[in-house]
Structure 1
Amino acid sequence: MASKTSEAPGTRQRRTGTSVHYNISYLVQGAEYGTDGAIVLLHDIPAGAFAWEEIMDQLGGLKRAVYAIDMLGFGDSDHPWPADTSVWGQADVLAYLLQDLKLVNVTLVGHGLGGGVAQVLATRLFRKQTRALVLIDSICYTHTFAENWPLTAMAKRQDFDAPQNTSLEDLINDMRSTLPAAVVNRDKFSKLLDTYINPWNNEIGKELLFQQVRNLIPYYLNSVASDLPKTGKPTLIIWGEKDEQTPVKYAERLHREIPNSQLVIIPDAGHYSLFDAGDKVAKAIVDFTNFVNA
């Protein structure tokens, strides 16, 4: 059952809900606006709800409840080990949570890994309650990661014995060298780098991160790819022009194949367009939400 706490209008709170047998933590802003028409934000790997805070600041004018969720194994949510943290596993857990929160006519917004989870929710597990879909630099089709993201030699990182063959020091150094490749504005991102890395900077965190990496299965989204054009749901596709992890060609393919979708390409932004151009990403979401609900 989702937790209930009192809050002053317009404030942002950290709450915890229970889904299946997991505790899932989330930020909620504008809960006083009710459960109809809420916006749900799903983060990338290896981030958490914190990645959306700048965007949330700029969504307040919509006067809608906005939820930024720490997906299973991230942030303040439970970190079970072993667990299914694939896009399907995450979507299964979140469908129960969102249903418990009684959210309807939801706009799902997913970045990277979160975009893959949003696709499963919108086409299968939370289809009836989803009003619209926003995909930001999203994993899609059979593409889930580049060879250098978020660690080098990703295929080897998925080996079962990879945690034992990788020292914690090497893992953290690897993250420090590869994560900044996802942004254009590295000075801004450098201030957040420790926020990304610290949750994994211990032996248990190392095991959990490798579990997340093992569950990045390229073909898991193929089963929903053919359903995206059939949902009939308004869809916005936002992409950093300089995204090297999920190149713009994937945005263009999504746009071609999803009828009446909207495509926004953001110049001078990489995979983490949320940080490179948070104001432009937020404006695109605001404009799209107003369009959908006009």
Structure 2
Amino acid sequence: MAKEFKKEGKYNYLEAGEGTPIIILHGLMGGLSNFDGLVDYFPEKGYKVLIPELPLFTNPLLKTNVRNFAKFLKEFIIYKKFEKVILVGNSLGGHIGLLYAKYYPEYVQALVIIGSSGLYESAMGDSYPKRGDKEYIRRKTENVFYDPSIATPELVEEVYNTVNDRTTLVRTLAIAKSAIRHNMGKDLPKMNTPTCIIWGRNDNVTPPEVAHEFHEKLPDSDLFWIDKCGHAAMMEHPQQFNEILHSWLEKRGF
């Protein structure tokens, strides 16, 4: 399936396929390539897959927060003239999807969260990146995965360059603090969006008890586990992830 990267006004996004729109929301350190498995799979199953670049490091500092990222998503969905969408979010992307579903439930057909923040401070990691320490960055990047070999030298370099830029680091800290402030614990029981929770059994960033709490508090949710898997299930086990998600979407009639 052909993928097309588009630049239109303030929107940069990847698009593939035709059909029911699935919008993928990347995390704080997550590139668009993290979702290659979904982009290759779901257009063949009758879905239009889009990954917008979120303005994590381009918004003014005062607008660098989860609430404004949810507003950006709303503007993007209006721009694309979609009535209802399926949102798939990993880590911070899951948090943005949850907040969007809280504010605009009528526009969300279904929500899928993977290693999402939104409940605990630990969801953003137990410490913040240290500038100039590549070995530290390598260890932290490897800790995201069950299989540390997925943290390739290229991925480590990408993360290192991100946190070693002072402007980017300031925004990273602002986003992390915003995620803590926008705790969703009290909101979840009032949210009736059908939600698929897919979690790595060995997630060190958002541990299994976070997934259990999301499942307990979200009224219409299903929880699925992937063994030998860390914080980014769609990267570590793309085939199993796609099969779980596709089966859930079919069962729910999406």
TM over 0.5: yes
User: SS of the residue aligned with 1:28?
Assistant: strand
Determine which of 199, 206, 209 is the counterpart of 1:239: 199
* Counterpart contact for 1:38–1:104, Cα < 8 Å: no
* Counterpart contact for 1:87–1:220, Cα < 8 Å: no
Corresponding residue for 1:137? 115
* Counterpart contact for 1:11–1:29, Cα < 8 Å: yes
Aligned pair count?
252
Determine which of 216, 236, 257 is the counterpart of 2:176: 216
Task: Check if 1:69 corresponds to 2:48.
Answer: no
User: SS of the residue aligned with 1:141?
Assistant: coil
Deviations 1:179-205 (A, max 9, x none): 111101222331651463365276xx3
Task: Check if 1:180 corresponds to 2:180.
Answer: no
Task: Check if 1:84 corresponds to 2:71.
Answer: no
User: SS of the residue aligned with 1:39?
Assistant: strand
Distance 1:280 1:191, change over 3 A: farther
Q: Distance in 2 between matches of 1:108 and 1:98?
A: 11
Aligned residue identity for 2:204: E
Q: Distance in 1 between matches of 2:22 and 2:127?
A: 31
Corresponding residue for 2:222? 262
Unpaired runs of at least 5, structure 2: none
Distance 1:201 1:123, change over 3 A: closer
Determine which of 40, 45, 51 is the counterpart of 2:23: 40
Structure holding more helix per residue: 2
Q: Distance in 1 between matches of 2:230 and 2:99?
A: 24
Which has more radius of gyration? 1
RMSD: 2.2
User: SS of the residue aligned with 2:197?
Assistant: strand
Distance 1:198 1:53, change over 3 A: farther
Aligned residue identity for 1:137: G
> What is the TM-score when the length of structure 2 is the normalising length?
0.89
Task: Check if 1:57 corresponds to 2:17.
Answer: no
Q: Distance in 2 between matches of 1:96 and 1:240?
A: 31
Task: Check if 1:278 corresponds to 2:253.
Answer: no
Q: Distance in 2 between matches of 1:110 and 1:200?
A: 21
Q: Distance in 1 between matches of 2:157 and 2:53?
A: 14
Corresponding residue for 1:6? none
Corresponding residue for 2:80? 101
* Counterpart contact for 1:82–1:211, Cα < 8 Å: yes
Deviations 1:221-244 (A, max 9, x none): 33x433333232211101111111
Corresponding residue for 1:293? 253
User: SS of the residue aligned with 1:253?
Assistant: helix
Aligned identity (percent) is: 22
Q: Distance in 2 between matches of 1:190 and 1:181?
A: 12
* Correspondence 1:120-199 to 2 at 5 A: 120-124=99-103, 126-143=104-121, 144-148=123-127, 151=129, 166=131, 169-170=132-133, 172-190=134-152, 192-194=154-156, 196-197=158-159
Q: Distance in 2 between matches of 1:98 and 1:291?
A: 25
User: SS of the residue aligned with 2:106?
Assistant: coil
Q: Distance in 1 between matches of 2:163 and 2:213?
A: 37
Deviations 1:257-288 (A, max 9, x none): 12231101110001122222121222222112
